[in-house]
Structure formats: structure tokens, C-alpha cells
Amino acid sequence: FMKTLVETIFKAPSNITPEQKIAFGEMAKSEYGRLWFARCINGKRCCRCVVKASFFSLVQHFSLMLAECADADDYSPAKSLMNMCFTYYYEPPPEEGGTGPVSSKKFLYEHLRQQPIWSGLRFWNAAFFDALQCERSLRPVATRQELEAVGQDQAVADELHYQENISFGQLGTFTCNMHAFGLSKEMVTEFLRKQVTIASLRSEQVMLLRENVTRLYSEQQQWK
């Protein structure tokens, strides 16, 4: 059902039937329904630029699904949808009679800033942990021969360095996303304080992350 529905959202959103809308609402209340919607949406990343009708259909379906994720404290699919908020966009045409360039891209996150799930640190902490787990799962497991070749001490040092790097990279992404959703500097700073402590990041890494947060809020930059 979700594969068919998502395909229709991208290709012909006006063809979505009332029965499909009702079924989607029911499935959004289940863990598997939320999981499969996130998976199917993630699977369409090759279609980042969508037509206006598909864009606003995505806004509607994301809104309902994120609300259900919030009610169920189901943060893994919500994390995936959060990332997709910065993936899909449409390009509005220039104003009628105008001579200027095409308007800038409009991303989903601009229409989903008011979703309640973003307002609590519970989501961001859980989503960050989930993101780290996904990153770690992609790393090949070292063979016994490889460990013996580099030595145990070097293997431990390499693993710590790897963990530092993925935590540092994800924190940079998460704090930028939080800013884009319009969250307060105080909330972002508190999230960062907790996570850099858990990750035991080096002082220079912490300084770079804090400086980036300060720059984002002092310059009021929008995510691009």
C-alpha cells in the first residue's frame, strides 16, 4: 500500500482517492505503517525536485505521519522524515510579468516547522542516537588478521577516532537542522552540550561546533 501511495504522491497526487487517504490515516497509527512510509519516501530520493502538487501532497502526508510519530514516541521513522524535509523541494516559477530569475528552492522543512515533534529534546536525542547507530552499521567489521596486523592499541585508537568523527559530523548536521526548524539557540546549545559530553569529543571539535551554532544564530542564516 505504501509503495503504491508514495508512487502516486510523486507522479499523480490528484489521483489519490478518499479511500486511500482514510487507509493512510489508519496505517499511520501503526508502527509498521510509519516505518514503511519512511522507507518508501527515502527510496524516492532520486526525485528530489518535485512538481508543486506533489510537494504539497508530501507536506500533508508528512504532517500526519509526524504527528502520529510524536504521539507514539516513534522516533526512528521521524528521524528519517526529518532528513527528507531537507531533500525534497520544488522551484516556484518567477512572478507573472517578472523579469527576475526563478525563485529559490522551497524545501519541505519550510512548511513543517510547526510540527510538535521538533519542540522536544527527547526527539533530537533519540534521533541523534539512531543516526549514530545507522552510521556505525555501515562500517565493515575488522577481521582477526587486520586487527593482528595493526595491533590492539592501534585498533582501539582507530575505533575511537572513527566514533569521534561520526559524532562530530552528525552533530554539525543536527544543529544546522534544528536551526532551520526555528528552534531556539538555548535548546540547540543544550542539545549540543549533552551530546559532546556523551561522545567525549576533543576540545577543538567542541569549539568548532559551538562556533558554528553561534554563527548560525548571529547571522540568522537559513538552511540551503
Q: What is the pLDDT of residue 140?
A: 61
Q: What pTM was estimated for this model as a whole?
A: 0.84
Q: What is the pLDDT of residue 82?
A: 97
What is the rounded distance in angstroms from the CA atom of residue 18 to the CA atom of residue 149? 62
What is the rounded distance in angstroms from the CA atom of residue 181 to the CA atom of residue 186? 14
Give the distance from CA 180 to its chain's centroid. 11
What are the residue ranges spanned by the domains of the chain?
1-114, 123-223
Q: What is the pLDDT of residue 152?
A: 63
Q: What is the pLDDT along the chain (224 residues), one digit of tens a residue?
A: 999 999 999 999 999 999 999 999 999 999 999 999 999 999 999 999 999 999 999 999 999 999 999 999 999 999 999 999 999 999 987 765 555 555 589 999 999 999 999 999 999 999 999 999 988 877 665 666 665 566 666 666 666 778 888 999 999 999 999 999 999 999 999 999 999 999 989 999 999 999 999 999 987 555 44
Quick one: which of 22, 31, 86, 35 has its CA closest to 58? 86
Quick one: which of 76, 85, 70 has its CA closest to 29? 70
Q: What is the pLDDT of residue 224?
A: 45
What is the rounded distance in angstroms from the CA atom of residue 209 to the CA atom of residue 206? 5
Three-class HEC string of the chain: CHHHHHHHHHHCHHHCCHHHHHHHHHHCCCHHHHHHHHHHHHCCHHHCECCHHHHHHHHHHHHHHHHHHHHHCCHHHHHHHHHHCCCCEECCCCCCCCCCCCCCCEEHHHHCCCCHHHHCHHHHHHHHHHHHHHHHHCCCCCCHHHHHHHCHHHHHHHHHHHHHHHHHHHHHHHHHHHHHCCCCHHHHHHHHHHHHHHHCCCHHHHHHHHHHHHHHHHHCCCCC
Quick one: which of 132, 123, 119, 136 has its CA closest to 182? 119
Q: What is the pLDDT of residue 208?
A: 96
Q: What is the pLDDT of residue 6?
A: 97
